[in-house]
Structure 1
Amino acid sequence: MKKYFLYVGLIMISLLGTDLTDFALSIWVLKQPEGTITSYTMIWFFEAAPAVLLAPFIGSFVDRWSKKKIIIYGQIITGIGSSILMSLFYFEHLQPWHIMIVSGIGSIASMFVFSAFYVATTALVSKDKLIKAQGVSTAIYAAISIGVPVVSPVLFKMIGMERIFMIDIITFLISILAFLMIRFVVVAKTEEEFNFRNDWKLVKEFLKERKGLRSLLGFFFIIGFLIGLIKVLFTPLILDFSNEYYLGLVLSVVGIGTVIGGGIMSMSKKIEHPIKTIFNVNILLGVILGCLWINVNLYVLAIGGMLAVLLFTISDIMNNAFFQAVVPTKMLGRLSGFVGLVIGASEPLSYMLSGAFVDYLSNVVSDVSYEFSNHFPGTTITIAIILIFTISGVMLMIVSYLFQRNKGIKNLDALYQEKLKKESKDQSEHNKNTAHINSPSMK
């Protein structure tokens, strides 16, 4: 797993600069005179939607191309985007719509990078260690997530937005140069010529033979939409009754949940029933979100957010490891692309609608009694967002419970165990053959 950790480290260096820039830009947009929650959430939408729409095509190319080249070229394109935004900011021409366009292109390039690394992971890590590997990489990224919200506002004030852009570009260069110099792992790829229709038939047939997978995709679409609302509205919620410095501290505490979740999964030896665990974790996540309204303050949101992120991290790691274990490597890019389109469409949809939801509910709650509104800090925006959180939490519990009872989904854990046993058997036979060839009698 040494190479896996090396690749993760290089990609995380690149992500550090990107996260610093994204966080600083979020503050910049919300602080503009014409800045609104809708313009803020639309940036999130454009940062996710293009990659989601093109995910099946990206997956098809990833299965056929060099994973090393994909990672390098993807980061080059994203770095160019940061350079363009830096130039626009320097000459005082930067507008939210500029960020939307560059974010859209960057999302496509990033989808190539992460899809290539996702597929390459199966060549770096055995199936029985996928959950552990995912836990380690998640914990490393979580360390970045904790530091960025604290550091970014300070850097925003001390060195300015243009120098934060420069940090982003430097981190891209470090990662790109390192990937150019290292020897990349050999990853199995399909030799079939590109034919999107045939790729779709292949994926469709794979899902048709495993009915539980289709139901699981429906579940994750709904969950993705609900979680997307929470993700995009958490920052506006804090800023409605606090400032960017407290926002950074709260998000850092929330990020600890990712570290803990990743740490727990990295130490887990074996998960017998990942799918069953995913549903139980999401029910508990729904309970936490549904109870945030009881006492809304920075402490509750920090702790509640940390617990929610911890549970979401565990669920996400097990989901990724499950698909990496049950899907053949040669078609993993294509299937993950189509899955990315189905599931991934939920988050951009939530980003696009979240601003309208907040505006509508803000108008509705403007006529509520003084005693009720006085229970919440900030303006009607806070009340509206908390209502969305509460409804999302209740829906999360109901949906998780109902899908858990699906017969096809219940069989997925057996499929997972079957794949692990097959790899263990194949590895044992390989070791026996290797030992036989290297024995003295054969020399």
Structure 2
Amino acid sequence: MRAFLVIWFGQLVSIVGSGLTSFALGVWVYLTSGSLTHYSLITMVAVLPTLALAPFAGAIVDRYDRRRILIYSDLAAGLNTFVIAALAYTGLLQIWNIYLIVAVTSVCNGFRGPAFNAASTLLVPSDKLGRAAGLSQMQGAASRVLSPALAGFLMTVIGLPGVVFIDVLTFLFSIIALLIVRTPMRAEAPAAGVRRSILAEAAYGWTYTRRRRGLVAMFVYFAICNLVLGIATVLFTPFVLSFGSAALLGTLMSVGGFGMVAGSVFLSVWGGPKKTVNGVLAPMLVVGVAMVLVGARPAPIPIAIGAFTYLFAVPILTGCWQVIIQKKVEPAVQGRVFAIATLVSWSSLPLAYLVAAPLVEKVVNPLLAGPLSETVGAVMGTGPGRAIGFLFVVMAGVIIAAAIGGFLYKPLRFIDTNLPDAADERVFDNSASADLSPQPELIPENPAAVQL
């Protein structure tokens, strides 16, 4: 566990540093171009390369030492960040540079995520995976809380070049932490065989995942939820600014960030439910209720409660999602499965970013001003931002329906018993002659007798 904590702390510092750069560049892009389009497109560029490379990145993570992959990923990302600092310092930074640099960083993150998650399995005892997942979620939570405030202050003191250079130093800190740990982080293939191409190993990852209906269902479940949550993420800022100030927006985002920290700490102390899938499904019901609180009325207090509750639940469900993969998938295949999980679960995010604004402007606004004005409009109002508020409530219904559907779909509901833990599962041969015939499902004969 000590090796995990050393690497975790290095990654924590690096992720907070990356949050500084992300916030500072977002401000710079908007102030330089005055265009929300550039901001949205850069957000998409930050996601698409990770998705495109996911299956191949996972195969590489499974083939080589995950510690080295983390080192190379951080080194490449650090050098990439240094280029930003140099361009900003010399006054040569342009918008098109940001697109290219963000794309390179996205490639690095495509390797870092599966490598860190798969390496954690090798470093953490099985009974402590839930707590380790909580610590992992705390990295993003800390960045959400600390980075905007620090970056906003540092921008006024040392400017964009100084803020970005601090990020470079945090990458060096992470690399040093990885160099300190000498524990091997490569899961050997479970059976001897001729090494196949990266393409063939990536294809095996798809086959391995496809045979496990519970995993497929969980990834599709997250893709559906991420479509809704991605739209909500894009619309939250204009929703708050439609009736409040930028200061109120900052306060509400900070409250949400503290909720995420609290949820991460809670999971790291608790370790998650006995049936891990309940930690994936039940918190999504909480997310749905929180979205109703956010959208129902343009009032700061219920929105703050909703934002805190929403982000309190997110690290719990994401951490439990991670633990299921770590427990149910053999370490030798986890890089590929984590990468496929990212690809499927995030596949809906680009669509969410594209449809969010047109959905409000072309669909919900006309409905609320026309056919629904005397029904929904009489309850929720028809003033500025109420179309987004109404959409939040509708999307809350979709989230709650998805969670209920997950409970009703047996391969997902019983994934803890359908799939044996990796330590108890027969060895899957990674060679070309591996037995890929379907295995029987292990759904209990009496589902009502299974403890939830």
| TM-score between the two structures when normalised by the length of structure 2 | 0.83
Within a 5 Å distance, the mapping from 1:125-164 to structure 2 comes to 125-164=124-163
Q: Report the counterpart of residue 68 of structure 1 in structure 2.
A: 67
* 1:332-371 per-position Cα deviation (integer Å, ceiling 9, x unaligned): 1112222222112122322233343344358637957799
Asked if 1:12 is matched to 2:15, the reply is no
Q: Which moved more, 1:149-158 or 1:188-197?
A: 188-197
Counterpart amino acid of residue 131 in structure 1: G
Measured after TM superposition, the shift of residue 217 of structure 1 is 2.0
Separation in structure 1 between the aligned mates of residue 398 and residue 43 of structure 2, nearest angstrom: 23
Within a 5 Å distance, the mapping from 1:209-220 to structure 2 comes to 209-220=211-222
Separation in structure 2 between the aligned mates of residue 179 and residue 3 of structure 1, nearest angstrom: 9
Measured after TM superposition, the shift of residue 80 of structure 1 is 2.3
Q: Report the counterpart of residue 448 of structure 2 in structure 1.
A: none
Asked if 1:2 is matched to 2:5, the reply is no
1:353 aligned to 355, 367, 370, which one? 355
Asked if 1:39 is matched to 2:38, the reply is yes
* 1:22-81 per-position Cα deviation (integer Å, ceiling 9, x unaligned): 122223333445322x33222111101110111000000111122122111111221222
Does structure 2 conserve the Cα–Cα contact (< 8 Å) formed by 1:233 and 1:354? Answer: yes
Q: Report the counterpart of residue 119 of structure 1 in structure 2.
A: 118
Counterpart amino acid of residue 303 in structure 1: I
Separation in structure 1 between the aligned mates of residue 156 and residue 358 of structure 2, nearest angstrom: 31
Does structure 1 conserve the Cα–Cα contact (< 8 Å) formed by 2:294 and 2:389? Answer: yes
Counterpart amino acid of residue 129 in structure 2: L
Does structure 2 conserve the Cα–Cα contact (< 8 Å) formed by 1:292 and 1:300? Answer: yes
SS of equivalent residue, structure 1 residue 291:
helix
Does structure 2 conserve the Cα–Cα contact (< 8 Å) formed by 1:46 and 1:348? Answer: no
Q: Residue 287 and residue 52 in structure 1: after superposition, are their counterparts in 2 closer, same or farther (change >3 A)?
A: same
Measured after TM superposition, the shift of residue 239 of structure 1 is 4.7
Counterpart amino acid of residue 396 in structure 2: G
Q: Report the counterpart of residue 222 of structure 1 in structure 2.
A: 224
Q: Report the counterpart of residue 286 of structure 1 in structure 2.
A: 288
Q: Report the counterpart of residue 438 of structure 1 in structure 2.
A: none
* Runs of 5+ consecutive residues of structure 2 not aligned to the other structure: 426-452
The structure with more helix, counted as a fraction of residues? 1
1:395 aligned to 394, 398, 404, which one? 398
* Runs of 5+ consecutive residues of structure 1 not aligned to the other structure: 424-443
Q: Which moved more, 1:65-74 or 1:366-375?
A: 366-375
How many residue pairs get aligned? The number is: 419
Does structure 2 conserve the Cα–Cα contact (< 8 Å) formed by 1:221 and 1:344? Answer: yes
SS of equivalent residue, structure 1 residue 24:
helix
SS of equivalent residue, structure 1 residue 54:
helix
Separation in structure 1 between the aligned mates of residue 243 and residue 99 of structure 2, nearest angstrom: 26
Q: Which moved more, 1:236-245 or 1:78-87?
A: 236-245
Within a 5 Å distance, the mapping from 1:75-114 to structure 2 comes to 75-114=74-113
Q: Which moved more, 1:236-245 or 1:260-269?
A: 236-245
Q: Which moved more, 1:43-52 or 1:71-80?
A: 71-80
Q: Residue 362 and residue 404 in structure 1: after superposition, are their counterparts in 2 closer, same or farther (change >3 A)?
A: closer
Measured after TM superposition, the shift of residue 237 of structure 1 is 3.7
- What RMSD in Å do the two structures reach over aligned CA positions? 3.0
Does structure 2 conserve the Cα–Cα contact (< 8 Å) formed by 1:65 and 1:189? Answer: no
Identity rate, percent: 26
Does structure 2 conserve the Cα–Cα contact (< 8 Å) formed by 1:149 and 1:252? Answer: no
Within a 5 Å distance, the mapping from 1:34-433 to structure 2 comes to 34-36=34-36, 38-190=37-189, 193-239=195-241, 242=244, 244-269=246-271, 271-360=273-362, 364=366, 380=384, 382-415=385-418, 418-419=420-421, 422=424
Q: Residue 270 and residue 282 in structure 1: after superposition, are their counterparts in 2 closer, same or farther (change >3 A)?
A: closer
Measured after TM superposition, the shift of residue 168 of structure 1 is 1.0
Q: Residue 373 and residue 79 in structure 1: after superposition, are their counterparts in 2 closer, same or farther (change >3 A)?
A: farther
Measured after TM superposition, the shift of residue 385 of structure 1 is 3.5
| TM-score between the two structures when normalised by the length of structure 1 | 0.85
Measured after TM superposition, the shift of residue 410 of structure 1 is 2.7
Q: Which moved more, 1:407-416 or 1:365-374?
A: 365-374
* 1:117-139 per-position Cα deviation (integer Å, ceiling 9, x unaligned): 11111111122211111112323
Counterpart amino acid of residue 21 in structure 1: T
Separation in structure 2 between the aligned mates of residue 352 and residue 85 of structure 1, nearest angstrom: 27
Measured after TM superposition, the shift of residue 373 of structure 1 is 11
Does structure 1 conserve the Cα–Cα contact (< 8 Å) formed by 2:7 and 2:174? Answer: no
Counterpart amino acid of residue 70 in structure 2: I
Does structure 2 conserve the Cα–Cα contact (< 8 Å) formed by 1:127 and 1:420? Answer: no
Separation in structure 1 between the aligned mates of residue 400 and residue 228 of structure 2, nearest angstrom: 11
Separation in structure 2 between the aligned mates of residue 241 and residue 155 of structure 1, nearest angstrom: 29
Counterpart amino acid of residue 270 in structure 2: S
Asked if 1:21 is matched to 2:24, the reply is no
* 1:366-412 per-position Cα deviation (integer Å, ceiling 9, x unaligned): 957799699789x84x3443344223211111122123211222331
Separation in structure 1 between the aligned mates of residue 93 and residue 238 of structure 2, nearest angstrom: 21
Separation in structure 2 between the aligned mates of residue 32 and residue 394 of structure 1, nearest angstrom: 39
